[in-house]
Structure 1
Amino acid sequence: MLLALPVLGCKQKSTDQNIKNETYENSPTDLTFDSSNEELTNAFIWAKDKALSYVHDGADPVGLWYEAALPNREAFCMRDISHQAIGAEILGLSDHNYNMFLKFAQNINAEKDYCSYWEINRYDRPAPVDYENDSDFWYNLPANFDIIFNAHRLYNWTGNKAYLENKELQNFYSLSMNEYVDHWDLGHEEVLNRNRNLHVKVKDSSRFGNKRGIPTYNEGGRGDTQLGIDMTASLIAAYKAYAELLRLQGNLGEGDHFKSKVEDELQFLHDFWWDKERKEFRSILYDSGQFDYFMVGDNQAFLHYLLYFDVLINQDNITDIIDAYAQNFDRLIVELKSYLPILFYENGRWALANRTIIDLCSVENKRRDYPENSFTIIEHLTRGLMGINVEAETNTFTTSPRIESEEEWAEMKYIPVLSNKIAVKHHGTTKTVTTNLQGRSIDWVAEIPGEHEFLYLNGKKIKCHQKNVNGRTVSYYKVTLEESDAMVVSVHTQ
């Protein structure tokens, strides 16, 4: 994990042998993937096996968990668990995700300035490398918002209403979006004038420095960084997610209140972070008043968070960021690169997305064993290549093929979505076969790239619809699948 503590001995391993390092001997998932691209198939096999090797069966005091930190840290971190959660869900680790998210929710309090524990270990304790006491610990401030953003994503994928209704989670959401924002001066009206030494209680003797609340995921943020653009992006995403969580709880009035905050922060994003003369986003504001923009190398500013947190509307802005990462591909570190395949898939750079996945899994990648890497590859293949997304409220899943040529194919089976398991096979971008293998009736939105007046459902000509997705036209048709139903949507008659 990049963002934890490289200067604080991140390679250390627990020497306590009282608790055996038990991992799953048998896979908790029957998920499979195969394709005409042998390298992608091999990438899936490696990523699935590697990810499951990090899964622990509940024998530890912390309960069900999987590793989401530096290798051998025996812990899970707020940023990493947020990024790994959907991949874990696809691997069948619902109970693990819920337990781990709940652990962060249970440990937020006023004594820690409305922070939680940045990293929790297998002993159900804050990882010692990150934490001395409730007044002295490492913390990246986007973390609370990342957890909320992904709790909403987990609800959408699973339909698990506990993400809406659990009182401890509700408390975490509320404290984070109210007291936490105010206490750390993170709103747009205060954030540019905030004191970077805010709430420092242990100064000269702290191994975490005198700027505990780091307003970015950029690791250089402990020094002379005043603010990172990912701080703003994470706040916008969390306001949007929280507004939706409140609406789904039936709390429409409060949900509308937080929707209005989204608009305020979006305005700040474009007024402050967008450089009108250079026509690009700034990424880091320093104490000196100077900015950095797109950054690669060891000190990388995270413009990809604008896309990960889905806060940009202008497709040209999105394309510019995608192009910049594509042009600097070989200079990207693993943690940053592990965010990119799905962003490449969603924005038409399919060959580069495939290359990124293969590169991340390669034995030549000396850091491929980071847990974050293998878990996210599962998500990239599922949501990226196969284009599968889920919306719990409407009991709907969507598929969208991102296969490079019409002669190629990709197939994934036993994908858990809501209370179902489905199978999806794409033949190029012109034909998708989907089966509701298990579960109640569910709606399927089949997307086919391009503008088509008609599609074919099981060989029968049907009138379809069109929409714009990331600047590209797709045609789509919605159909209900009962259990065991298999249906084909295609451009040509069968």
Structure 2
Amino acid sequence: MIKLAFNTLLLLLFIPFCSFAQEISLKSDNKYLEENFTWAVQKANTWKMTGKSGEINRHEGGEGLGYKAEVKFIPSYWAGYAHRSAYYIRDFVHQIDGAHLVGMDEENFAMMEKFAEYTTEDKKWYSWWALNFDGSVFTLDAPNPPGIGTYQGYPSDFVNKPGESFVREIPAMFELVEKAWKSYLWTGDRRYIEDEKLWRMYEKVVTDFVSLHDSDGNGIPEGQGDIFQGSSTYNEADIHPLEAGDAIGSQYQAYLAYAAFLSERNLKQQAKEQEKNAAALKDYFNTNWSVVEVTNLYASATTSSHEKYPFFNKETSWFMPMKLLTEPGPRNEAYLDFISEELGDGVGTANAKKGSPANIEAYTYLPDTYFPYGRVDEAWKWMKYIIDEKEKPHYVTKQGNNGNYPEVSFTLVSQVVEGLMGIEPNAAELTISTIPRLPAEIQYLALSNLKIGEHTIEVYQSKNKTEITNSASSSPLTCNIRFYGEHKHMFANGKKTKAKTAMLNGKIYSFISVQLNPGEKVVATL
């Protein structure tokens, strides 16, 4: 590791002008992206509900069961339809990275803790699907108990009766565990390790939740039908499969996340067991579950009659590579091609295909599917598609336009930072890793006021240059600066430095590690 000299004068001159409250911002030669990033940050902040008061249990049907007109809200933000006064698990876990980036760490923790609190044995370790902004149950998606004429909401000790109908989707529970770990990487907040409600959720979801919903013993939870019976997939509209690829991919990431949590508690042996569970699940998926004799494509689901389903099935399909469940190589690359072919250029375009989803929020997953494999042009194509569609009416007309679906703004922010700029945080270890993924239409990106734990940093990326400044902190920051390809050397502040190589999702990259003290900057070039 290269250690740069501490520059006391720079530190003294710079720190007084830094502000932890400053908003993340982007500069770029591509003004289209720069302007829309600014829009996304501002729009995401309009969805913040913290400190406000308002309605609960309001939806398209009007005043729902347990409706109240004026209730004080907990730290929270909108995650779901704009005409429903609630936040949903699925939207929340996809918005959580963007929420951190726009300064909503307390909201992320409070919302996560509420979902964990409602993850209970009486629901076979499901949580409630949606919550009001005061943290109470959003009754539209929950069972209707007796006495609804006078019922004013679910008491804290409400117990779900066996067989009750309520919205539940298997991938969501696994994503809660995965994204809790991701929030810890961004923040270093020890509450994600030490909070008892969260820990119970992590443990129960990867153990009892799996066993209670796995009747055939293959280690994969099964759906029971539609969303009110218990869905195995996020694709709510099509085949209602028994087992689904998006659930397996999410389960794989939950095992890895729980293993990492165990390591943070110094439970090394248990962590190794969970890592083995993750590896075994991935191997079973790639060598057995997904294999169909008539095609080299992956099966994306098994039907209620236990037949493999080797066809495109929207989220069921693209979550498999997005969650890194598929093994990098020719089969995975062919499947990414297959997804592109099935989508065409998206609904509403001249090249719309049968597989093109009608709802904009489905497309917000696609950049996250293609960026990890270095398929920059496809990821950028879908980012542009989402931006260009944001002023058009949403598929659900009461929602308003596409840009008023909260997921659109939150994910645009995270996909610039994590996708185009390739930034991976590890706040607990005081580390940032970067890898530029810029299409031809973008020559550079310069990000200011990025928070990783206690650090506020600036990052500049072009295809062959990365600059990182440890702007405001009290501790050093380790920077793993990465570029795709095999390069024997890089230059750090003009000094020729031997580079190491490694693999990232099937692609080779070269890297150097640099330690920055507070106020220091590194310029790394090929």
Same fold (TM over 0.5): yes
| Residue matched to 1:55 | 48
Cα distance change, pair 406–100 in 1 and its aligned pair in 2 (3 A): closer
Q: Does 1:247 align with 2:260?
A: no
| Residue matched to 1:139 | 168
Counterpart of 2:30, as a letter, is N
Q: Does 1:262 align with 2:260?
A: no
**Structure 2 counterparts to residues 103-114 of structure 1, below 5 A:** 103-114=114-125
**Structure 2 counterparts to residues 25-424 of structure 1, below 5 A:** 29-60=22-53, 61-133=72-144, 134=160, 135-185=164-214, 189=218, 191=220, 196=224, 212-220=229-237, 224-270=240-286, 271-295=288-312, 300-327=314-341, 328=343, 329-330=345-346, 331-332=356-357, 333-362=359-388, 363=390, 365-366=392-393, 367-405=402-440, 408-424=443-459
State the distance in 2 between where 1:316 and 1:115 align.
Answer: 37
CA deviation digits over 1:66-112, x for unaligned, max 9?
11111221211111111110111111111010000000011121222
Q: How far is the alpha carbon of 1:376 from its aligned partner?
A: 0.8
Counterpart of 1:335, as a letter, is E
Q: How far is the alpha carbon of 1:130 from its aligned partner?
A: 0.5
Confirm or deny: 8 A CA contact 1:158 1:417 kept in the other structure.
yes
Cα distance change, pair 292–48 in 1 and its aligned pair in 2 (3 A): same
- Structure 2: state its 5+ residue gaps: 1-19, 54-71, 145-159, 347-355, 394-401
Cα distance change, pair 488–184 in 1 and its aligned pair in 2 (3 A): same
Cα distance change, pair 36–195 in 1 and its aligned pair in 2 (3 A): closer
Q: How far is the alpha carbon of 1:249 from its aligned partner?
A: 0.9
Q: How far is the alpha carbon of 1:28 from its aligned partner?
A: 6.2
Confirm or deny: 8 A CA contact 1:350 1:402 kept in the other structure.
yes
Q: How far is the alpha carbon of 1:320 from its aligned partner?
A: 2.2
Cα distance change, pair 345–258 in 1 and its aligned pair in 2 (3 A): closer
Counterpart of 1:314, as a letter, is P
Confirm or deny: 8 A CA contact 2:80 2:407 kept in the other structure.
yes
Q: How far is the alpha carbon of 1:396 from its aligned partner?
A: 1.0
Confirm or deny: 8 A CA contact 2:80 2:405 kept in the other structure.
yes
Cα distance change, pair 159–195 in 1 and its aligned pair in 2 (3 A): closer
Counterpart of 1:35, as a letter, is S
Task: Report the 3-state secondary structure (helix = DSSP H, G, I; strand = E; otherwise coil) of the residue aligned with 1:139.
Answer: coil
State the distance in 2 between where 1:225 and 1:343 align.
Answer: 22
Task: Report the 3-state secondary structure (helix = DSSP H, G, I; strand = E; otherwise coil) of the residue aligned with 1:474.
Answer: strand
Moved beyond 6 Å, runs of 4+: none
Q: Does 1:471 align with 2:487?
A: no
RMSD: 2.4
Task: Report the 3-state secondary structure (helix = DSSP H, G, I; strand = E; otherwise coil) of the residue aligned with 1:404.
Answer: coil
Cα distance change, pair 340–148 in 1 and its aligned pair in 2 (3 A): same
Cα distance change, pair 231–288 in 1 and its aligned pair in 2 (3 A): same
Confirm or deny: 8 A CA contact 1:39 1:358 kept in the other structure.
no
Cα distance change, pair 196–344 in 1 and its aligned pair in 2 (3 A): closer
Q: How far is the alpha carbon of 1:53 from its aligned partner?
A: 1.0
Q: How far is the alpha carbon of 1:393 from its aligned partner?
A: 4.3
User: Larger deviation: 70-79 or 406-415?
Assistant: 406-415
Cα distance change, pair 214–345 in 1 and its aligned pair in 2 (3 A): closer
Q: What is the percentage of aligned positions where both structures have the same residue?
A: 24
Cα distance change, pair 373–454 in 1 and its aligned pair in 2 (3 A): same
Task: Report the 3-state secondary structure (helix = DSSP H, G, I; strand = E; otherwise coil) of the residue aligned with 1:336.
Answer: helix
CA deviation digits over 1:398-456, x for unaligned, max 9?
111122349821111111112111111123x1111111111121100111232222211
Task: Report the 3-state secondary structure (helix = DSSP H, G, I; strand = E; otherwise coil) of the residue aligned with 2:140.
Answer: coil
Cα distance change, pair 479–276 in 1 and its aligned pair in 2 (3 A): farther
State the distance in 2 between where 1:407 and 1:77 align.
Answer: 34
Q: How far is the alpha carbon of 1:310 from its aligned partner?
A: 2.1
State the distance in 1 between where 2:98 and 2:471 align.
Answer: 20
CA deviation digits over 1:354-374, x for unaligned, max 9?
232222122454323211111
CA deviation digits over 1:93-135, x for unaligned, max 9?
1101000000001112122222111110123222122012523
Counterpart of 1:263, as a letter, is A
Confirm or deny: 8 A CA contact 1:40 1:354 kept in the other structure.
no
**Structure 2 counterparts to residues 440-451 of structure 1, below 5 A:** 440-451=475-486
Counterpart of 1:319, as a letter, is E
